[in-house]
Amino acid sequence: MLEPQGPLPPEIYWRRRALAVGVVVLALIVVIGLIIWASGGSDESPRNTSASVSSSPSLTSVPSSADASESIAGGSGGSGGSGSGGSGVPGQSQASGSVASGVVPGASSSSSAAPTAVPASGLCPDQNISAVLYTDKPTYTVGDKPVFTIVITNAGLAECTRDVGKDMQNVTVRSLDGTRYIWSATDCSPINTINNQLLKPAQQFKDTIVWSGTTSTPGCKTPRRVAAAGPYQAVGSLGEKLSAPITFNFADPPRQ
């Protein structure tokens, strides 16, 4: 069995057997190498997985400084800083929220917690103020100088600022039926003064305007005459905000 038989010389058969054995041995080596490589790769992948898992806390631990800065920023804005920690998920959730929105949670909560009709110290719009006009007495003698008092009230829900200076004030006097123009405070002696007042809700500002009791026209272009006896109406204003009209009388002086 071991001796080669055939027409060819024996050494040729021995070479063929050696080559076949070499191929088998090489195949076994390759198979064993593949098995070792596969088992080594599977052992290495858990290490990579564990490494990636262990590295993730380092990523989420970075926002701790951001959380600290948020608490500092929140503290400077008032009580809103303590509200920023109420997410219930430490580390990553707070960091992702701050990075995604770019807004300090404390600041947003404090601004939404105090809604007002008008921002504090903002300008008072006309719809948030009221103007009332009254005189110092109901009847005057021809030649008297009526004193008008204009009252400005903050009727809004928040404090606001309004220019209540003489430049913004005006009183216009007309005949009782409103058809004849008699006088306006800005016709002949306009006073260009600014007086910005911070008015709290329901706070009032009062000022007086004195009328000489004579007629006038815009620009003071016509001679002024003493207002005749009779009933009149007056309307006060602060900028575009008008008061309700009031009435008063001029009476002839008593005869002596």
Mean pLDDT across the stretch 199-219? 96
Instruction: Check: CB of residue 251 under 8 Å from CB of residue 144.
Output: no
The token pair that represents 166 in the structure block: 């003489």
pLDDT for res 24 = 83
Mean pLDDT across the stretch 113-123? 51
Write down the mean pLDDT value for the chain: 74
pLDDT for res 256 = 73
129-149: pLDDT as tens digits: 999 999 999 999 999 999 999
Which residues, including other chains, have CB under 8 Å from residue 229's CB and lie 6 or more apart? 142, 249, 250, 251, 252
The token pair that represents 215 in the structure block: 């007629």
Bridge partners for 55 per DSSP: none
The token pair that represents 22 in the structure block: 């070499």
Domains and CATH numbers, the chain: 62-112 (no CATH), 122-251 (2.60.40.10)
Mean pLDDT across the stretch 3-15? 68
pLDDT for res 78 = 36
pLDDT for res 37 = 82
Mean pLDDT across the stretch 229-245? 97
One-letter amino acid for residue 187 of the chain: D
Torsion over CA: 33, 38, 41, 46 (sign): negative
**Confidence band for 162, pLDDT divided at 50, 70 and 90:** very high
